[in-house]
């Protein structure tokens, strides 16, 4: 469990006697992007909708509040999106990062849906902005939310209020009662008081389990204790676990997670985007023992940042250190925490607590191995080391011009892949058969589409696309079964 | 300037600069992306670019209770008000005028009594404007009252220009800056959706409209007075003017706009979250807007009350409030407009180089 979240013991008795029942047409579990899209759509069908968000209002919106854009298919320049980005190109991009580990039908469905998401989002009161400075490469493929994910989430909550959806904060779903693929009700802790809530349909959108370090530790070993969680502490996967226990089909395995190398001084949870450290390609990265362990210049940073979480996770103490010299200090996005600055490498070893002799030997070996050639920070420049293990294959310039700058890196978990298998109607499948009245959207089912790897902005695309589908279907189901 | 205020703004800007999600809202954020670290001059420049639209607070994932405790609208507002004070001569007066809303009220009363003493009480029988107070007396009083504060203000702006390393100004830069001010671009939220103020995290255009009604109302009134002065001295045309004359047309429309705009601003302010503004200035802001409201409302009432028994008292109060407004220009919230336009010009220079 996370440190400051209270452990709540579900009162199963309430389920047995059905006490404290509140009735709704549709219950939506979660308060992030997928849940919000689902609730809006469900309410549009005329269904009465309850949304349970575990976080207090200040922290509503899960990981979605940390996002900045979503990936969007479009045929012509559209709003803030330049050029065109068609289905096939989008799908190809996806295939590349997932190495083919993709469900083509569902992926294409999400891609096609994304085209209409843009206008739909505008219609809900969201606004977009041009690509942020430093992200020009995304201006064609990704639409940035004006103000970021929190502004997006605010707009959706305002929309729900206008629709008279019942929004409950500090509402933790403790148990989900599903018998023979049929959902009955949820046991929910409403600000300290437990209630059994029945509804005709349920949309599960409570995210992954990345904030449950015990669960991560079962998959990763004790190393997981040293992981930092980039997003919300509320995504502990209770609902995921409960529903899997009722026989829902699991997709993905718990070792799969998206982890990047972030500033080691980041808060344990919720550090979000600002904790990134983008200097790796221009640095050498060493572990505590003072050894380099991977090619820092293998590719441009946007294509490599996602492997560094795992690389650092494998080092002793799950920590590593990126060191640059003054030549490179302005070549990457500013960092939120200032670097350790020293006039000598000796001093750097002392201040970062590195094994001094080995560190100096490593730098020395690296510097001697640096070749000559022209340095281009923004493209693969082929400036590589000779006779150094491991080689650095681009941007290899000696670390020799004081002052020196050092950053501590730790693995920061973005999200997990383990989830439910769903069909194109976003219904959760149980033993290969679609459930009667259980839908899922967002992170909790993203594994159905993305087996591995990640494409920037696709998480929000999946959540919006499947959230909308799930909400609409659940609403329609509830309305028709209400007679 | 207080170090804590500057340091706090710098600390928050470092978080924003690593994030940049709010880049599209305003020119303060556009300016931010040019820097890797923030020196005092840059922070002062950005603080005067910030229009306190508050969008970057409501959109921020790092506001309290998050440990990063972001509240950029307030951090920049605190720097901003101190930057005025530290550049305009006689900071004691700035402190005085911004200490409490009562200062405006008390000064209007005091000046009224002074006028009363100067003008005597013969206005009961008056039937033209200048029967009440002779034009020469008016000019004698208002000339220096008007010029001295302007002088002080421009000294302050000159110092500010130095601080922000201003360069020679081109016509293009002026055009950029005045265009942004004319439609209050920086309160349009970046996508035209307006700002956050009286409705929490919902956007609205109310503040923008109310501000522009106030600003244009004020400018029209100012134009009316200027034209009247020219008509008086240049053409020997003496007030009162008919309704279909420039001074009156400008004066009445301006007065109405100003009264409506300031009323709305006051109302909106009662709905806004005080934690997102300069913590020390909320009271004096009320005082300032109320003073503006009184200037225009008493002016309008004068048109209506002409020839009646209350006209005299009203006129004294009206003139006294104008005097107070002018005297306090460099020291009250009124300076914000002058510093803002200066900042916009500087920003135009920086953006075009
Ligand atoms: C720092 C960061 C930046 C990111 N940037 C991007 C980006 O720019 N673009 C992109 O596409 N993706 C991005 N992602 C990934 C993105 O956040 C996710 O793909 C997306 O937010 C998933 O949405 P969701 O609604 O499924 O989950 P979430 O938004 O995480 O919502 C889950 C919700 O469920 C609630 N919840 C959890 N358990 C319970 C319970 N038991 N009872 C009730 N409620 C519960 C949580 O409180 C939360 O509100 C980013 C992630 C991080 C961490
Ligand atoms: S105010 Fe918050 S969301 Fe906006 S740029 Fe700054 S840190 Fe990012
Ligand atoms: S309050 Fe508005 S104008 Fe000021 S910095 Fe934030 S977004 Fe820009």
Domain chopping of chain B, boundaries: 90-352
pLDDT for res A471: 98
Name the helix (H) or strand (E) containing A182. strand A182-190
pLDDT for res B131: 59
Partner-chain contact B24 A272, CB within 8 Å: no
Determine if ligand 3 sits within 6 Å of the CB of residue B22.
yes
pLDDT for res A99: 87
Residue scoring higher pLDDT (B128 or B220): B220
- Residues B250 and B230: their CA atoms lie apart, in Å, by 14
Whether the Cβ atoms of residue A262 and residue A230 lie closer than 8 Å to each other:
yes
Q: Across residues A317-340, what is the average pLDDT? A: 96
Q: What are phi and psi of A189, to 5 degrees?
A: -90, 110
Residue of B nearest to A80 (CA): B191
CA A186 to chain centroid: 26
Name the helix (H) or strand (E) containing A133. none
The domain spans of chain A are 12-254+417-481, 258-412
A128-129, strands of its sheet edge to edge:
A69-71, A142-145, A128-129
- Residues A47 and A482: their CA atoms lie apart, in Å, by 10
Tokens of A153: 């989430």
- Residues B56 and A156: their CA atoms lie apart, in Å, by 17
pLDDT for res B181: 95
- Residues A461 and A78: their CA atoms lie apart, in Å, by 16
Q: Which residue matches tokens 């976080």?
A: A55
Nearby residues of B344 by Cβ (< 8 Å), 6 or more positions away: B27, B49, B176, B177, B178, B180, B181
| Segment A244-254, tens digit of pLDDT | 999 999 998 88
Residue scoring higher pLDDT (A115 or A11): A115
CA dihedral B56, B58, B61, B66 (to 10 degrees): 110
Tokens of A354: 């590195």
Q: Å from A480 to nearest chain B CA?
A: 34
- Residues A27 and A369: their CA atoms lie apart, in Å, by 61
pLDDT for res B353: 72
Mark residue B35 as left, alpha or beta (left: phi above 0; alpha: psi -120 to 50; beta: remaining).
beta
DSSP3 helix / strand / coil % (chain B, rounded to 5): 70, 0, 30
Residue scoring higher pLDDT (A154 or B119): A154
Surface of B (173-232) touching A: CB under 8 A: 189-191, 193, 201-202
pLDDT for res A1: 43
Partner-chain contact A154 B59, CB within 8 Å: yes
pLDDT for res A205: 98
CA B220 to chain centroid: 15
Q: What topology is assigned to A258-412 in CATH?
A: Flavocytochrome C3; Chain A, domain 1 (3.90.700)
Residue of B nearest to A273 (CA): B19
| Segment B171-218, tens digit of pLDDT | 999 999 999 999 999 999 999 999 999 999 999 999 999 999 999 999
- Would you place residue B279 in the very low, low, confident or very high pLDDT band (cuts 50, 70, 90)? confident
Q: B39 at the A interface (CB within 8 A)?
A: no
pLDDT for res B124: 43
- Residues B42 and B36: their CA atoms lie apart, in Å, by 11
Q: What are phi and psi of B176, to 5 degrees?
A: -55, -50
SS3 track for B181-208? HHCCHHHCCCCCCCEECCCCCCEECHHH
Q: Which residues of A touch B36 (CB under 8 A)?
A: 330, 334
- Indicate whether A326 pLDDT > 60: yes
Residue scoring higher pLDDT (A406 or B287): A406
Nearby residues of A146 by Cβ (< 8 Å), 6 or more positions away: A126, A127, A128, A129, B24, B25, B59, B189, B190, B191
- Indicate whether B163 pLDDT > 80: yes
User: Strand, coil or helix: what is B328?
Assistant: coil
- Residues A387 and A396: their CA atoms lie apart, in Å, by 13
Whether the Cβ atoms of residue A378 and residue A332 lie closer than 8 Å to each other:
no
Paired strand residues for A438: A202
Q: Å from B244 to nearest chain A CA?
A: 45
Partner-chain contact A270 B66, CB within 8 Å: yes
pLDDT for res B130: 59
Supply the mean pLDDT for chain B. Answer: 90
- Residues B239 and B131: their CA atoms lie apart, in Å, by 10
- Indicate whether A473 pLDDT > 60: yes
- Indicate whether B310 pLDDT > 90: no
What is the 8-class DSSP label of residue A11? -
| Segment B284-309, tens digit of pLDDT | 889 999 999 999 999 999 888 877 77
Whole-structure pTM value: 0.95
Pairs across A and B, CB distance < 8 A: 92
Give the other-Cβ count within 10 Å of A254's Cβ: 18
Residue A245 Cα distances to A25, A205, A248, A420, angstroms = 24, 17, 7, 11
pLDDT for res B129: 53
Q: Å from B251 to nearest chain A CA?
A: 40
Residue with the nearest Cα to atom 6 of ligand 2? B16
pLDDT for res A100: 86
- Would you place residue B140 in the very low, low, confident or very high pLDDT band (cuts 50, 70, 90)? confident
Residue of B nearest to A263 (CA): B18
First to last CA, chain B: 29
Nearby residues of B201 by Cβ (< 8 Å), 6 or more positions away: A151, A154, A158, B58
- Would you place residue A116 in the very low, low, confident or very high pLDDT band (cuts 50, 70, 90)? very high
- Indicate whether B125 pLDDT > 50: no
- Indicate whether A92 pLDDT > 90: yes
Q: Which residues of B touch A144 (CB under 8 A)?
A: 24
Q: Which residues of B touch A130 (CB under 8 A)?
A: 24
Question: Is the alpha carbon torsion for A163, A165, A170, A176 positive or negative?
Answer: negative
- Residues A261 and A420: their CA atoms lie apart, in Å, by 28
C-alpha A66 – ligand 2 centre gap (Å): 10
- Residues B27 and B25: their CA atoms lie apart, in Å, by 7
Whether the Cβ atoms of residue A71 and residue A455 lie closer than 8 Å to each other:
yes
Best of A148, A228, A270 to disrupt the B interface by mutation (most B CBs within 10 Å)?
A148
Tokens of B176: 């950029």
- Residues B346 and B161: their CA atoms lie apart, in Å, by 8
Residue B275 Cα distances to A271, B72, B77, angstroms = 24, 11, 11
Specify the ligand 2 atom closest to the Cα of A148: 3
- Residues B26 and B188: their CA atoms lie apart, in Å, by 8
First to last CA, chain A: 42
Partner-chain contact B36 A334, CB within 8 Å: yes
Ligand nearest to the CA of A210: 1
High-pLDDT (> 70) share of chain A, %: 99
Orientation angle between helical segments A104-123 and A458-481, nearest 10 degrees: 80
Residue scoring higher pLDDT (A98 or A403): A403
- Residues B106 and B14: their CA atoms lie apart, in Å, by 43
Ligand nearest to the CA of B180: 3
User: Strand, coil or helix: what is A78?
Assistant: strand
What is the 8-class DSSP label of residue A102? B
Tokens of A158: 């305002």
Residue with the nearest Cα to atom 9 of ligand 1? A457
Q: Which residue matches tokens 């671009």?
A: B185
| Segment B66-77, tens digit of pLDDT | 999 999 999 999
Q: Across residues A175-184, what is the average pLDDT? A: 96
User: Strand, coil or helix: what is A207?
Assistant: coil
Residue of B nearest to A62 (CA): B61
What is the 8-class DSSP label of residue A45? T
Partner-chain contact B59 A270, CB within 8 Å: no
- Indicate whether B128 pLDDT > 60: no
Residue A349 Cα distances to A312, A327, A391, B191, angstroms = 18, 19, 22, 49
Supply the mean pLDDT for chain A. Answer: 95
Partner-chain contact B191 A127, CB within 8 Å: yes
Residue B163 Cα distances to A141, B43, B154, B304, B350, angstroms = 42, 11, 14, 48, 14
Least confident range from A59-68, A418-427, B223-232: namely B223-232
- Residues B262 and B268: their CA atoms lie apart, in Å, by 10
Helices of type H across B55-170: 55-58, 72-87, 91-97, 102-119, 129-132, 135-163
Q: What topology is assigned to A12-254+417-481 in CATH?
A: FAD/NAD(P)-binding domain (3.50.50)
Nearest to B352 by CA among B175, B187, B163: B175
Residue of B nearest to A134 (CA): B33
Q: Å from A461 to nearest chain B CA?
A: 18
Determine if ligand 2 sits within 6 Å of the CB of residue B70.
yes
Orientation angle between helical segments A345-352 and A356-369, nearest 10 degrees: 130
In A, what residues contact B, Cβ < 8 A? 58-59, 65-66, 68, 127-130, 132-134, 144-151, 154, 158, 267, 270, 272-276, 330, 333-336, 338
pLDDT for res A483: 63
CA dihedral A248, A254, A256, A261 (to 10 degrees): 130
Residue scoring higher pLDDT (A406 or B123): A406
pLDDT for res A3: 53
Largest CA distance in chain A: 79
| Segment A213-227, tens digit of pLDDT | 999 999 888 999 999
- Residues B204 and B124: their CA atoms lie apart, in Å, by 47
- Indicate whether A393 pLDDT > 60: yes
Name the helix (H) or strand (E) containing A325. strand A320-325
C-alpha B353 – ligand 2 centre gap (Å): 26
Determine if ligand 3 sits within 6 Å of the CB of residue B221.
no
- Residues A320 and A409: their CA atoms lie apart, in Å, by 5
Q: B117 at the A interface (CB within 8 A)?
A: no
- Residues B262 and B215: their CA atoms lie apart, in Å, by 9
Residue with the nearest Cα to atom 2 of ligand 2? B60
Q: Which residues of B touch A59 (CB under 8 A)?
A: 65
pLDDT for res B34: 93
**Based on C-alpha coordinates, what's the Rg of chain B?**
22
């Amino acid at each position: 469990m996370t440190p400051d979240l209270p452990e709540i013991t579900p009162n199963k008795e309430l389920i047995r006697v059905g006490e404290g029942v509140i009735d709704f047409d549709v219950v939506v579990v979660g308060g992030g992007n997928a849940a919000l899209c689902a609730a809006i759509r469900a309410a549009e069908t005329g269904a009465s909708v309850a949304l349970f968000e575990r976080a207090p209002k200040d922290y509503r919106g899960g990981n979605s509040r940390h996002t900045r854009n979503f990936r969007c298919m479009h045929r012509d320049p559209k709003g803030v999106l330049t050029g065109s980005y068609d289905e096939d190109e989008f799908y190809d991009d996806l295939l590349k990062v997932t190495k083919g580990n993709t469900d083509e039908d569902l992926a294409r469905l999400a891609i096609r849906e994304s085209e209409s998401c843009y206008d739909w989002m505008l219609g809900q009161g969201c606004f977009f902005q041009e690509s942020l400075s430093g992200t020009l490469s995304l201006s064609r493929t990704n639409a940035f939310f004006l103000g970021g994910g929190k502004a997006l989430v605010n707009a959706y909550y305002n929309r729900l209020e206008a629709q008279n959806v019942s929004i409950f904060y500090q509402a933790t779903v403790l148990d989900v009662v599903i018998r023979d693929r049929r959902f009955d009700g949820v046991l929910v802790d409403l600000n300290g008081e437990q209630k059994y809530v029945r509804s005709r349909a349920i949309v599960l959108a409570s995210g992954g389990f990345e904030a449950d370090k015990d669960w991560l530790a079962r998959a990763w070993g004790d190393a997981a204790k040293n992981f930092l969680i980039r997003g919300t502490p509320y995504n502990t996967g209770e609902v995921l676990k409960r529903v899997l226990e009722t026989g829902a089909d699991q997709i993905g395995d718990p070792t799969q997670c998206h982890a990047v190398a972030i500033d080691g001084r980041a808060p344990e949870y919720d550090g979000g985007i600002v904790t990134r450290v983008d200097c790796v390609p221009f640095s050498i990265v060493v572990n505590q023992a003072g050894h380099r362990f991977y090619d820092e210049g293998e590719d441009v940073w946007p294509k490599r940042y996602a492997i560094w979480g795992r690389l650092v996770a494998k080092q002793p103490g799950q920590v590593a250190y990126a060191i640059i010299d003054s030549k490179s200090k302005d070549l990457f996005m500013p960092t939120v925490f200032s670097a350790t600055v020293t006039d000598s490498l000796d001093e750097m070893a002392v201040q970062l607590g590195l094994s001094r002799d080995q560190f100096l030997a490593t730098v020395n070996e690296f510097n001697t191995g640096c070749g000559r050639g022209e340095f281009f920070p923004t493209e693969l420049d082929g400036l590589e080391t000779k006779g150094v293990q491991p080689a650095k294959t681009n941007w290899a310039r000696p670390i020799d011009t004081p002052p020196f700058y050092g950053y501590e890196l730790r693995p920061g978990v973005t999200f997990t892949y383990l989830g439910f298998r769903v069909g194109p109607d976003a219904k959760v499948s149980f033993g290969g058969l679609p459930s009667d009245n259980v839908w899922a959207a967002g992170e909790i089912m993203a594994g159905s589409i993305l087996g591995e790897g990640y494409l920037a902005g696709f998480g929000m695309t999946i959540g919006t696309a499947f959230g909308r589908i799930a909400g609409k279907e659940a609403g329609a189901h509830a309305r028709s079964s209400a007679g | 300037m207080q170090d804590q205020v500057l340091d706090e703004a710098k600390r928050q800007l470092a978080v924003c600069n690593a994030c940049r999600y709010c880049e599209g809202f305003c020119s303060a954020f556009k300016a931010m992306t040019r820097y890797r670290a923030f020196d005092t001059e840059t922070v002062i420049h950005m603080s005067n670019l910030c229009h306190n639209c508050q969008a970057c607070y409501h959109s921020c994932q790092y506001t309290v209770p998050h440990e990063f405790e972001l509240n950029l609208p307030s951090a920049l507002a605190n720097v901003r008000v101190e930057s005025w004070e530290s550049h305009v001569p006689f900071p004691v007066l700035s402190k005085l005028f911004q200490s409490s809303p009562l200062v405006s009220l008390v000064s209007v009363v005091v000046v009224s009594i002074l006028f009363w003493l100067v003008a005597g009480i013969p206005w009961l029988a008056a039937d033209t404007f200048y029967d009440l107070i002779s034009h020469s007396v008016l000019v004698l009083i208002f000339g220096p009252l008007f010029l001295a504060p302007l002088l002080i203000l421009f000294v302050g702006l000159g110092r500010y220009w130095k601080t922000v390393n201003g360069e020679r100004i081109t016509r293009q830069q002026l055009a950029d800056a005045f265009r942004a001010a004319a439609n209050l671009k920086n309160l349009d939220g970046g996508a035209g959706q307006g700002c956050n103020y009286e409705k929490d995290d919902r956007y609205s255009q109310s503040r923008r409209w109310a501000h522009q009604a106030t600003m244009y109302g004020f400018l029209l009134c100012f134009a009316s007075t200027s034209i009247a002065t020219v008509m008086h001295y240049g053409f020997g045309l003496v007030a009162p003017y008919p309704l279909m004359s420039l001074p009156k047309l400008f004066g009445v429309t301006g007065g109405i706009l100003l009264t409506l705009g300031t009323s709305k601003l006051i109302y909106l302010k009662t709905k806004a979250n005080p934690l997102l503004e300069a913590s020390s200035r909320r009271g004096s802001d009320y005082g300032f807007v109320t003073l503006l409201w009184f200037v225009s409302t008493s002016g309008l009432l004068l048109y209506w009350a002409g020839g009646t028994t209350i006209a005299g008292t009203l006129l004294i109060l009206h003139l006294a409030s104008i005097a107070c407004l002018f005297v306090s220009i460099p020291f009250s919230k009124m300076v914000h407009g002058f510093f803002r336009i200066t900042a916009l010009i500087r920003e135009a220079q920086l953006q075009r180089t």
